[in-house]
């Protein structure tokens, strides 16, 4: 069978993804704690009430303690359910009592009601200072943000920064990125065409 056609952009993303998929087990408990604290500060500074977080995949930043703290602060926590490829994410309410089910690609999703977040926290494999990110390649967050039209805060660790993420027409830039070292607020006029 002939190899499937892949565009130069998708090939660049694939190469970068391969590099960063292996480099993710790098945060110490202390750094995890600093990142969670920064993210909580950034979220609590906003007026948004329904916050979409994520339940960690292996090697990712662990937002579970953050989810508990966010819930304790009185905001509502939503977690994604991953639909078949090509669809946006679905969000369900989570509380500390919620049971989680096994979902696609090793993800877990809550046994809670459907809920529309007004702020989405977005994981990534790599990011740049213009607010662009590289995900697992499902396009899930790009589709979700295009549909919801709500603000998005990216989170990860400082070692995931690259000079320039290869950008396609569907990529939706983040307005804030939080790492264990800093909270980067992206000025929109600096964004790429």
If binding is defined by CB under 6 A, does position 152 make contact with ligand ATP? no
CA distance 125 to 17: 7
Residue 15, marked binder: yes
Among 48, 55, 91, 140, binds ligand ATP (CB under 6 A): 140
- Which parts of 117-136 interact with ligand ATP (CB under 6 A)? 134-136
| CA 80 centroid distance within chain | 10
Among 112, 123, 131, 166, binds ligand FFO (CB under 6 A): 123
Residue 42's alpha-carbon distances to 13, 18, 22, 48, 178, in angstroms, are 29, 30, 28, 11, 8
Among 81, 118, 171, 180, binds ligand ATP (CB under 6 A): 171
CA distance 111 to 117: 16
The site partner of 157 among ligand FFO, ligand ATP, none (C-beta below 5 to 8 Å per kind) is none
The owner of tokens 């991953």 is 82
If binding is defined by CB under 6 A, does position 168 make contact with ligand ATP? yes
Q: Give the distance between the most distant pair of CA atoms in the chain.
A: 55
Q: What backbone phi and psi angles, to 5 degrees, belong to 113?
A: -70, 155
If binding is defined by CB under 6 A, does position 24 make contact with ligand ATP? no
Q: Which residues bind ligand FFO (CB under 6 A)?
A: 21, 54-57, 60, 80, 82, 89, 105-107, 123, 135-136, 138, 140-141
């Amino acid at each position: 069978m002939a190899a499937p056609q892949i565009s130069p952009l998708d090939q660049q993303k694939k190469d970068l993804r391969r590099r960063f998929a292996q480099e993710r087990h790098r945060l110490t408990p202390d750094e995890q704690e600093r990142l969670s604290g920064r993210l909580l500060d950034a979220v609590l500074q906003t007026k948004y009430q329904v916050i979409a977080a994520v339940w960690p995949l292996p090697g990712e930043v662990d937002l579970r303690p953050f989810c508990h703290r966010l819930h304790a602060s009185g905001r509502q926590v939503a977690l994604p359910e991953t639909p078949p490829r090509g669809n946006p994410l679905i969000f369900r309410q989570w509380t500390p009592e919620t049971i989680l089910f096994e979902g696609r690609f090793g993800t877990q999703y809550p046994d809670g009601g459907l809920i529309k977040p007004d702020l989405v926290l977005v994981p990534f494999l790599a990011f740049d200072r213009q607010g662009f990110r590289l995900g697992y390649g499902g396009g899930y967050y790009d589709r979700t943000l295009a549909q919801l039209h709500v603000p998005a805060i990216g989170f990860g660790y400082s070692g995931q920064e690259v000079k320039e993420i290869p950008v396609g027409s569907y990529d939706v830039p983040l307005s804030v990125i939080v790492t264990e070292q800093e909270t980067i607020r992206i000025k929109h006029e600096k964004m790429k065409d």
